[in-house]
Structure 1
Amino acid sequence: MTGRDATARATGEAFVPDDVGLVVNPVSGDGGGRSLARTFTDRYGGPVTRAVTRGPDDVGRATRELAGEVDLLVSVGGDGTLREVASALYRWRGEGGREPPALFVVPAGRGNSVHRYLYGETDWRALAERLGDGIVARPLELTRVGTEPPAEARYSVLGVTVGLFRHALDGAERFRALPGPLAYLLGTATATLFADPVAVRVGRADERLFAGEARLVAAGGGRYRGGTAQLLPDSRPGDGRLHALVIEPVGGREALDIARAARSGDHVGHRAVHYFTGDAFDVRAGAGTGAPDGTLPAEMDGTPLPDLTDLHCEVVPEALPVAYPADVVRSGQ
């Protein structure tokens, strides 16, 4: 890695990566991480350094080992793996004051919402073939997540949800014998129809935005959830804001109508849907709703969180650089 490349990443100029590293989760999705890593290497067409993780706690170590040695870092895994890579990169940046390598995503999970958020419908293999001709790094915000009970600050790419998608993850475990995307789809459908709502208060600074029962609360920067639902349709990579959504409980038929509308982002106009933007949001269990204080069934980037009573989400603008093929940027694709 050269100083020239670090300057190019910081200024958004095109550069050809000298050193490429892969952080590979071999068990992501249906266990195809190693195969996808080999495919990336073949499509990229140049030498790469590969770090295959040995478990969920190993992603941060592998990321930090590669961060100072490469100028393009590739996450091969699902949304949860990418969150761990992004968190480790951001902490590495803060500790040393160094510009982190540009980040590219090879989707290997069940939902792969981050890849679609960053690269749209373009197949990752086609993008990988063009990275070696030059890349442009564009900024991406993260969400800093604080919790009660207290825990070490977490960083998220997609953000946090309470209610529906946590129930969907729990439901997907009941269908784990099926392929990952199908299990998640069935888990989401079951949760949409049968999961209980959650009593919450959602606020922005000292302003109360919503208090009552919600089927779903979301706060973060990622536009997609479940790979296809445009849950936060106004969100764009690098916009420097957080987006928040609350969906109130409705009947089964209406819930399915909202789910269908979310595929195109048209659910925001529904009477039971509330949408907000800001720099920070708070979500509290039961507070101000007249319901007994309870817990928040929450998940972050597809990973379940322990039982919580409070969430605080705060935007971290321009936290990391994300790699795009230079010719894609020039053509405006």
Structure 2
Amino acid sequence: MDGVDDFEQALGRVLAAGAAGRDGDAETDGAASVLAGAGERWVDVAAEAYARIRQQAHARGWEAPDLVRMAGRELTPRHLRLAEGLEQGRDLAEFVARERLDRFSGATAFVEVLHLYARLPRIPALTGGGPAPATPGQGKVLGRIRALLAKAESTGYPEEAEALTAKAQHLMARHSIDAALAAGGHTGPGSRRIGVDRPYEGAKALLLDAVATANRCATVWSADFGFSTVVGHDGDLEAVELLYTSLLVQADRALHGGRVSRSRDFRESFLVAYASRIRQRLTEAAGEEEAAGTRTAPDLLPVLAARDLAVQRETERLFPATTTSRLKGRDADGWVQGERAADRARL
């Protein structure tokens, strides 16, 4: 067990250097040397250290996808591949062989990932909404939504994309209403984190909020960590992630389809306007389904109001202190083009 103890001590010096505000390069090299020199047990030593650091990060609220996302955000693509492999159960030796590294270089990357994980602060732990009554055809409905959005992403005809996306949002809203009526007031909201990647994170977080709000969810953007936490009921959370991902793909295609070089202000204004217009369209589609639902189910409005209140309270519990930020479009042409792209997007 000496190898484990020696590496733990060396890793402790790395963490202490970081806590003291030093770059810790010398300590990192030292820890990597200890790990690389652990002989045949070096992979086992690394696995034990990783399990401990990962468990500590989990206790501070970080889930596996969050850790992998942070490795890619704060370090390099190589560190991202290492983090993904570790989460998939691959050992350090596999990473070294796949990347064609010497043992010391692989150990250095490993120590850097552990250092990142160890210094992550505490964040709100994700919550589950608890088991909800299954609505008839639930899996089939989500399958239809996925199929509609996949078709919307692949078509080369803007009008068809718009119609397909609109149909998906109507289906999502109807599914949410059915789930609300089936569950009554017996299930609470849960939460999940959705990555908001560079560049233009603010505009992308705005788009995610537009999708979430239209689907009876709430979002809080954690700009420093590259994600938004979405609070809502389980079926709504799934729908929000599906639609947000699809709309991002459609926005990217519209923004770069002409292959014309654009300024940063143009691209950011485009995405802000896109998010703003998408919010309007989604809200209208959801409102139409709600109006139709109330005509056939008179008790729907109190049920939806109770679910909305539950989402609000859960969001406030997870995030008792938040701030509001504003985004401005600085390029008029970008704004106009973004609104046009949103009008063409499939909902």
**TM-score under structure 2 normalisation?**
0.31
By relative contact order (CA 8 Å, sep 6+), the higher-ranking structure is 1
More strand by share: 1
Q: What TM-score do the two structures reach when normalised by structure 1?
A: 0.32
Structure richer in helix, relative to its length: 2
Which protein is bigger by CA-based radius of gyration?
2
